[in-house]
Amino acid sequence: MKTQIGIIGGGPSGLLLSQLLHLQGIDTVILEKHSREYVLGRIRAGVLEHGFAALMREAQCGERMDAEGEIHDGFYIAHNGHRHRVDLKGLTGGNSVVVYGQTELTKDLYEARDRAGGVVIHNAEDVKPHDVTSGNPFLTYRDGDDVRRVDCDYIIGADGFHGVSRKSIPKESLREFERVYPFGWLGVLSRTKPVSPELIYAKHERGFALCSLRSQVLSRYYIQVPLSDTVEDWPDDEFWEELKRRLPDDVAGGLVTGPSIEKSIAPLRSFVAEPMRYGNMFLAGDAAHIVPPTGARGLNSAGSDIYYLYNALLDHYKKSDDTGLQEYSDRALSRIWKAQRFSWWMTTLLHRFPDNIPYDDRLQHTDLEYLFSSQHALASLAENYVGLPF
């Protein structure tokens, strides 16, 4: 098989790039390790910055997002029994975020690829990039007993944190930066009315909690748990009790509980690999960087990579201008590190760190006090949350 762009990974990054390029007449093939059902079965975050939403519209995939997603002009931070609203719209001169689940967004991207006759090869085993430092890179994958080959101009590694693309780069050509946090998030999805129309991030001495939602009939809640905990340690009743303890009384009093329809624990990690290019292979999304979920930057950071990569590839094919490709890694990383900083800061601000010394606790408290005493501090938070410009 021959194509212009060979993409490893059929998650949001790979699908969005493939769809945007298709609309410009640039051909792609996606090799995805898992089945579509598996990819669409993963519950991930659900807050889109306005720039990401605009990219979905540009990809002609924004219709259901605009119809069913909710525009949120603010969110709350709760601590010491009180809620403070962060007025995103007022603080950013009119920007907001869209609450729309990543699962739904991925479904929309798959449907768009189907309508356009896009090639997405599922259950592609042993995907491997080859000759990436040459002008003729290619991919191979196994289909049963057969090994198949896809020749391309460029390879995009959009295969997530555990994918093969980053791991195929020689160690001496890559620098990795990582911080692992000493806790995880236990998440529960339930078919209940959300406790609040806007998200609530809660700091509590027992640990962080988050009240989020997918729609007005589908709630998503999280609590900070030790890394040693398992899902079996948290029957539904105990989860709801613990969540209530960490919320202000007026919020806890209004919490509607019900059976969980999904429950999982995710560790929290910050990670960046530099540079995001090796020869003619470019990394994008979780393949190159991950953030703790606290600032809702994961999917949005993937979106900014795709924006830079898409425009760089357009310049290459339409104008024979390779500046964008040459500068891709630097441009992407400059924004990525700002998202890393913001996610680290929100995580540090709101979680209970088991090894904190009393001095650290005082600083954490002061950071929150300062935030709500300063319009400048609040504006900085809001600017980062709605998404810095591409």
Q: For binding to ligand APR (CB under 6 A), which residues are involved?
A: 8-14, 31-34, 39, 44-45, 102, 124, 127, 158-160, 162-164, 285-286, 298-299, 302
d(CA 390, CA 386) in angstroms, rounded, equals 12
102 vs 347 by CB, closer to ligand APR: 102
Residue 212's binding partner out of ligand APR, ligand PHB, none, with CB under 5 to 8 Å set by partner kind:
ligand PHB
Shortest Cβ 185–ligand PHB spacing (Å): 8
The residues, ordered by sequence, that sit 6+ positions from 287 with a Cβ below 8 Å of its Cβ are 9, 13, 157, 158, 159, 160, 161, 163, 165, 166, 273
158 vs 243 by CB, closer to ligand APR: 158
Residue 102's binding partner out of ligand APR, ligand PHB, none, with CB under 5 to 8 Å set by partner kind:
ligand APR
Shortest Cβ 127–ligand APR spacing (Å): 4
Helix 323-350 / helix 358-371 crossing angle, nearest 10 deg: 110
213 vs 325 by CB, closer to ligand PHB: 213
What would the two tokens of residue 223 be? 């609590």
197 vs 318 by CB, closer to ligand PHB: 197
Shortest Cβ 46–ligand PHB spacing (Å): 4
Shortest Cβ 212–ligand PHB spacing (Å): 3
Collect contacts of 167-171 with beta carbons under 8 A, ≥24 apart.
168/128, 168/129, 168/132, 168/281, 169/278, 169/281, 170/278
Residue nearest to ligand PHB (CB): 212
Shortest Cβ 282–ligand PHB spacing (Å): 27
d(CA 2, CA 134) in angstroms, rounded, equals 16
Q: What is the dihedral of CA 364, 367, 368, 374, to 10 degrees?
A: 180
Residue at 291: amino acid letter: V
Residue 299's binding partner out of ligand PHB, ligand APR, none, with CB under 5 to 8 Å set by partner kind:
ligand APR
Residues of this chain that interact with ligand PHB (CB under 6 A) are 45-47, 199, 212, 220, 293-294, 296
Shortest Cβ 287–ligand PHB spacing (Å): 20
Shortest Cβ 47–ligand PHB spacing (Å): 5
Let me know: does 78 contact 251? Beta carbons within 8 Å. Answer: yes
Let me know: does 158 contact 147? Beta carbons within 8 Å. Answer: no
39 vs 99 by CB, closer to ligand APR: 39
Cis peptide before 275 (omega within 30 of 0): yes
118 vs 298 by CB, closer to ligand APR: 298
Residue 294's binding partner out of ligand APR, ligand PHB, none, with CB under 5 to 8 Å set by partner kind:
ligand PHB
Q: What is the dihedral of CA 101, 120, 289, 271, to 10 degrees?
A: 90
18 vs 219 by CB, closer to ligand PHB: 219
**Placement of tokens 């950013």 in the chain:** 92
Residue 13's binding partner out of ligand APR, ligand PHB, none, with CB under 5 to 8 Å set by partner kind:
ligand APR
7 vs 91 by CB, closer to ligand APR: 7
Residue 155's binding partner out of ligand PHB, ligand APR, none, with CB under 5 to 8 Å set by partner kind:
none
The residues, ordered by sequence, that sit 6+ positions from 358 with a Cβ below 8 Å of its Cβ are none
Residue 296's binding partner out of ligand APR, ligand PHB, none, with CB under 5 to 8 Å set by partner kind:
ligand PHB
150 vs 247 by CB, closer to ligand APR: 150
Q: First vs last Cα of the chain: how many Å apart? A: 34
d(CA 62, CA 274) in angstroms, rounded, equals 32
Shortest Cβ 297–ligand PHB spacing (Å): 8
What DSSP element (H or E) covers 214? Answer: strand 209-215
CA distances from 355 to 201, 240, 349, 351 (A): 22, 26, 15, 12
What would the two tokens of residue 282 be? 């470019």
Shortest Cβ 224–ligand PHB spacing (Å): 12
User: Strand, coil or helix: what is 265?
Assistant: strand
